[in-house]
Structure 1
Amino acid sequence: MSFSNKTIWITGASSGIGKALAIELSQQNVKLILSSRKLVALELVKKECKNAAEVKIVTLDLEDYNNLQSKVDEAISCFGTVDILVNNGGISQRSLVKDTQISVDKRLMDINYLGTVALTKALLPHFIKNKKGQFVVTTSIVGKIGTPLRSSYAASKHALHGFFDSLRAEHHRDNIAVTLVCPGFVNTNVSKNALTGNGTPQQKMDSATENGIDPERFAKQMIKVIKKKKEEAYIAGTKEKLAVFAKRFYPKLLSIMIRKLSVT
């Protein structure tokens, strides 16, 4: 599949994977719509893109999931259509189950799951009408395997897999593709912004995240996955990929290994 002249909408585009994806895609003759809550940061990303004239900004807050239809209408009006929506926006978590307030669980689900689902549902009629479209979803290896300190985050990502697997089955005949991209550790600010048990940001970088895949390299691999319209892909280190394999074929062994992970 060629991206030439396609309109690609990216949420969570102000930093990390979304930013790297936007800059890399701008080299491929596409029209881009960039979204997040942070207008100033989005404008800086736009300046780094190759052809800024073909980049539009639509600010949105996934947590405000009852008011996303107007954002979809605004996005469609930018270039007259949307061909691919990259659901990349979200937030992570770092806290033990026993220390995590239920309000934190709710916020993770509101942003990562309900916000993504609401935006997808609002755009879906446009894809159905056009008889084409692709939903790309940045989930996580943790969307396949729950690990310590990430219970709410893992739950929100697992939920995305269930929803989008169902959507894919329902709308295959409408020529609508669904691609679930599962990152392992990527060197972004995700761990700094992760919520702790009382809802405040962690404000420090995890060592595993700091040593993760470079966002630019990740974006290049993600673009290949999107082009191939893969149903599910794991862009991660060898250990993380092996863990997905073990979860399927040797779940008891994986459980024993996960118990040994640090929870402090």
Structure 2
Amino acid sequence: MSFADKTAWITGASSGIGAALAREWASRGANIVLSGRDEARLAEVADSLPTETLVLPFDVRDEAAMHNATVQATAWRSGIDIFVANAGISQRSPAVDTAMAVYRQIIEIDLTAQIAAAQALLPHMTARGSGRLLFISSIAGKVGVPMRTAYCAAKHGLIGYADALRAELSQSGIAVHVVCPGSVATDVSRNALNADGSVRGRSDKIIDNGIPPAEAARIIVDAVAAEEREIIVARGVEEAMGEARRTPEALLDQIAGMVAAGYMEKMQADS
């Protein structure tokens, strides 16, 4: 699959996996829309890319700003071919100590805002009859990991939304990909929230020694090109956990087959 002259819109694009995906897609000829909260860091990423870029800074929790960015992104060039819901925040705290405000914040950023962004873009993609939606979940979206109950809840939920959306769109020409990274060498741990909602401010050795973001991005883009629906990006025990909980391709085909056979039309008629 060629990505030349395609347009990829990436949220959480100022650093880490998001910035690496921008560089990888741009190296393959794609034009890039960059979104995140830090306009200066987004501009630095844009300056490093060899193709055309559009910087649209906003906080994913600001739905009005997100809708305004969607209007601008879809009007740029020929529209959005690839959308990556990558913005997110993690956690490092036992459930018994964690304030409900932390749960609400993480679920709003990692789940609700990602759904809202995809929902805003769906009319554009369905009207065109093409497009790719990537949802950056986690191995923690497949396996419950201690000290990350809020993060696991949000990332499991994101996979559930993506899987159901994939089935609904299976006859539309729009592909849906779920990405489950393990430890990637980013600031995810340093930016994670403590039990009281404060920022942790330090990293973990397992994260610091994780997969380099550029390598993770190559794996992801190669897998998208290969039409993989569920993409595991991990090593060692994390890879083993992800593979153990991988959704069987036959099951994904079965659900898509239900839609092809008129499942949605029958449900709507019965209601």
With normalisation by structure 1, the TM-score equals 0.90
1:64 is aligned to 62
**Shift of the alpha carbon at 1:68?**
2.2
Gaps of 5+ in 1: 249-264
Letter of the structure 2 residue corresponding to residue 221 of structure 1: I
**Shift of the alpha carbon at 1:209?**
0.4
**Cα RMSD (Å) of the superposition?**
1.4
1:186 is aligned to 184
Write the distance in 2 (CA, Å) between the matches of 1:246 and 1:126.
36
Q: How many residues align?
A: 247
2:199 is aligned to 201
Write the distance in 2 (CA, Å) between the matches of 1:91 and 1:245.
24
Write the distance in 1 (CA, Å) between the matches of 2:11 and 2:245.
30
Q: Give matches, 1:97-116, under 5 Å.
A: 97-116=95-114
Residue 224 of structure 2 is aligned to residue 234 of structure 1:
no
Conserved 8 A contact 1:87-1:116: yes
116-125 vs 18-27, which moves further: 18-27
Letter of the structure 1 residue corresponding to residue 61 of structure 2: E
Conserved 8 A contact 1:93-1:152: yes
1:88 is aligned to 86
1:47 is aligned to 47
The DSSP-based 3-state class of the residue aligned with 1:193 is coil
Write the distance in 2 (CA, Å) between the matches of 1:245 and 1:169.
21
Letter of the structure 2 residue corresponding to residue 47 of structure 1: D
Shift in CA distance, 245/3, structure 1 to aligned 2, threshold 3 Å: closer
Which whole-Å deviations, capped at 9, do the CAs of 1:114-167 have from their partners, x for residues lacking one?
110000000000111000111011110000001110000000000001101111
Write the distance in 2 (CA, Å) between the matches of 1:110 and 1:37.
15
Letter of the structure 1 residue corresponding to residue 166 of structure 2: R
Shift in CA distance, 247/28, structure 1 to aligned 2, threshold 3 Å: closer
Letter of the structure 1 residue corresponding to residue 144 of structure 2: G
Conserved 8 A contact 1:65-1:110: no
Q: Give matches, 1:8-23, under 5 Å.
A: 8-23=8-23
2:259 is aligned to none
Conserved 8 A contact 1:146-1:154: yes
Conserved 8 A contact 2:181-2:234: yes
Letter of the structure 2 residue corresponding to residue 133 of structure 1: G
Among residues 165, 168, 171, which one is paired with 1:170 in the alignment?
Answer: 168
1:147 is aligned to 145
Shift in CA distance, 247/122, structure 1 to aligned 2, threshold 3 Å: closer
Which whole-Å deviations, capped at 9, do the CAs of 1:46-84 have from their partners, x for residues lacking one?
111123xx1110112112235422111011122230001
**Shift of the alpha carbon at 1:30?**
1.2
**Shift of the alpha carbon at 1:229?**
2.2
Shift in CA distance, 19/245, structure 1 to aligned 2, threshold 3 Å: closer
Residue 160 of structure 2 is aligned to residue 136 of structure 1:
no
Shift in CA distance, 5/209, structure 1 to aligned 2, threshold 3 Å: same
2:262 is aligned to none
64-73 vs 97-106, which moves further: 64-73
Write the distance in 1 (CA, Å) between the matches of 2:242 and 2:232.
9
Among residues 117, 120, 124, which one is paired with 1:119 in the alignment?
Answer: 117
Write the distance in 2 (CA, Å) between the matches of 1:227 and 1:168.
17
Report runs of 4+ in structure 1 exceeding 6 Å deviation: none
Write the distance in 1 (CA, Å) between the matches of 2:37 and 2:31.
20
1:28 is aligned to 28
Write the distance in 2 (CA, Å) between the matches of 1:205 and 1:73.
37
Conserved 8 A contact 1:178-1:229: no
**Shift of the alpha carbon at 1:238?**
2.2
Identical aligned pairs, as a percentage?
38
Letter of the structure 1 residue corresponding to residue 90 of structure 2: S
Write the distance in 2 (CA, Å) between the matches of 1:68 and 1:202.
27
